């Protein structure tokens, strides 16, 4: 539903807290959220409405891109974003629709076979050194400008700036060790030139890297162009800001037109940024990444501790007195699965206008029993706007 005709401006501020991968699965009958001691969240839940959000569709495990797009109100099935574009946005590149974006990994190759797809997860410093070296030596291929930017650990971004570059190229990453890289063959006739530029780039880059012990190869994935999104300012009438330390999330926020604020690497840095800028925006997207990482590592206890750390910061968040506060996740990352999952997300909504739970406790099961029930994540934004009194009546 197009909300634009209903939008109203006012001073009510909205805070959307995304604890990445928060939802989990039970171990000894309790999920990570249930095992965690969360007295502040539990108390807040009693004065809030709870529910469960479904990022894409039942049974579908979303990547971070689709999961965040859904939370921001953009149907992820009709708004696809390539990994290359997300990474490029994340490292702060300014893109045009002609640019071809590629997500790259430093990798280790031996006798033509990939022996480590992440080059031993080299330190970010090492990544920076290698990227500068590559950028210095490779700036142009067939009139296409080459931009190389480090991300974190083994990840970096390559952007080909030029006209008529097609994204119909395969990932060169074979997805598992022990296999040779996938050859760069065009998937459509119009990708012939892109393929040639890519091959030349790979040849020159691996020549430059051949003396490296770990990062002696490059894998390329997610060839993609920058898609065009209706900005959140138009779609929801919100001046919106993103506070996230990880590049990918900053990238997706930029894609939907949020202002991406400078912040530090820790949750406390992010909260400090929020505290300092709270009066300058109508809407904040505040992203906590680490819960997801512990889930991906299969570290149940570690995820529990991080949920408790979030709980300890809740009084500080509440003290900022946002009119509307939502606490949720983009997707679940159960430690049991060591991966994103298809299970719906716990969702807590706090405002003056909630039908409150009246029962303490914040967990997947409590949310399932909650006032809001289970609903598509794309409906979160309309709900937040309603609670901020930013949507007028539909019809007379």
Choosing from 48, 108, 341, 345, the residue that interacts with a second copy (CB under 8 A) is: 341
Q: Phi/psi of residue 146, each to 5°?
A: -105, 125
Choosing from 81, 107, 157, 191, the residue that interacts with a second copy (CB under 8 A) is: 81
Binding flag, residue 277, a second copy (CB under 8 A)? no
Binding flag, residue 268, a second copy (CB under 8 A)? no
DSSP summary character for residue 300:
H
Choosing from 25, 107, 219, 314, the residue that interacts with a second copy (CB under 8 A) is: 25
Inter-CA distances, 218 with 109, 208, 222, 229, 296, Å: 9, 11, 14, 31, 24
Site for a second copy in 30-49 (CB under 8 A): 31
What does the CA dihedral 389, 393, 394, 396 come to, rounded to 10 degrees?
A: 180
Nearest to 220 by CA among 242, 197, 243: 197
Binding flag, residue 306, a second copy (CB under 8 A)? no
Query: Considering the complex, what minimum distance in angstroms separates the CB of residue 293 from a second copy?
Result: 16
Binding flag, residue 7, a second copy (CB under 8 A)? no
**Residue 213 class from Cβ within 10 Å (0-12 exposed, 13-18 middle, 19+ buried)?**
exposed
Binding flag, residue 62, a second copy (CB under 8 A)? yes
Choosing from 63, 150, 162, 247, the residue that interacts with a second copy (CB under 8 A) is: 63
Choosing from 21, 76, 181, 251, the residue that interacts with a second copy (CB under 8 A) is: 76
DSSP summary character for residue 106:
E
CA quadruple 150, 154, 159, 160: dihedral sign: positive
By CB under 8 A, the count of residues binding a second copy is 64
Site for a second copy in 350-389 (CB under 8 A): 352-356, 358, 364-365, 368-371, 373-375, 379, 381-387
Measured CA to CA, the distance from residue 235 to residue 9 in angstroms comes to: 13
**Residue 189 class from Cβ within 10 Å (0-12 exposed, 13-18 middle, 19+ buried)?**
exposed
Choosing from 27, 43, 61, 305, the residue that interacts with a second copy (CB under 8 A) is: 61
Query: Considering the complex, what minimum distance in angstroms separates the CB of residue 368 from a second copy?
Result: 5
Judge whether 243 and 273 are in contact, CB under 8 Å.
Answer: yes
Q: List contacts with a second copy (CB under 8 A).
A: 1, 6, 25-26, 29, 31, 52, 56-66, 76-77, 80-83, 86, 103, 222, 334, 336-337, 339-343, 352-356, 358, 364-365, 368-371, 373-375, 379, 381-387, 391-396
């Amino acid at each position: 539903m197009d909300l634009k005709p209903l939008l109203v401006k006012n001073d009510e501020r909205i805070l959307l807290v995304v604890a990445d991968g928060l939802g989990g699965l039970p171990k000894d009958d309790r999920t990570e959220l249930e095992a965690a001691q969360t007295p502040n969240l539990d108390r807040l839940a009693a004065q809030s409405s709870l529910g469960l959000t479904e990022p894409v569709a039942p049974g579908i495990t979303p990547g971070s891109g689709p999961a965040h797009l859904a939370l921001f109100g953009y149907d992820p099935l009709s708004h696809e974003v390539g990994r290359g574009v997300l990474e490029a946005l994340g490292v702060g590149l300014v893109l045009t629709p002609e640019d071809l974006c590629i997500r790259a990994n430093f990798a280790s190759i031996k006798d033509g076979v990939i022996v480590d797809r992440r080059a031993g997860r080299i330190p970010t410093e090492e990544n920076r050194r290698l990227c500068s070296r590559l950028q210095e030596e490779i700036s142009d291929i067939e009139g296409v400008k080459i931009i190389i930017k480090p991300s974190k650990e083994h990840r970096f971004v390559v952007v080909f700036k030029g006209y008529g570059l097609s994204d119909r190229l395969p990932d060169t990453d074979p997805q598992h060790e022990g296999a040779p890289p996938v050859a760069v063959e065009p998937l459509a006739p119009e990708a012939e030139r892109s393929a040639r530029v890519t091959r030349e780039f790979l040849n020159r880059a691996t020549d430059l890297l051949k003396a490296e012990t770990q990062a002696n190869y490059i894998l390329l994935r997610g060839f993609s162009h920058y898609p065009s999104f209706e900005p959140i300012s138009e779609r929801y009438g919100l001046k919106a800001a993103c506070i996230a330390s990880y590049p990918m999330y900053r990238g997706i926020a930029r894609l939907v037109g949020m202002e991406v604020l400078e912040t530090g690497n820790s949750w406390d840095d992010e909260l400090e940024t929020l505290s300092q800028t709270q009066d300058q925006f109508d809407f904040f997207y505040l992203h906590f990444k680490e819960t997801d990482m512990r889930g991906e590592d299969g570290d149940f206890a570690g995820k529990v501790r991080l949920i408790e750390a979030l709980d300890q910061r809740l009084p500080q968040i509440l003290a900022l007195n946002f009119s509307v506060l939502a606490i949720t996740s983009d997707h679940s990352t159960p430690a049991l699965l060591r991966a994103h999952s298809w299970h719906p997300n716990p969702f807590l909504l706090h405002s003056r206008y909630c039908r409150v739970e009246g029962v303490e406790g914040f967990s997947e099961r409590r949310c399932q029993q909650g006032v809001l029930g289970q609903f598509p994540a794309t409906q979160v934004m309309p709900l937040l706007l309603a609670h901020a009194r930013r949507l007028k009546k539909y019809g007379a």
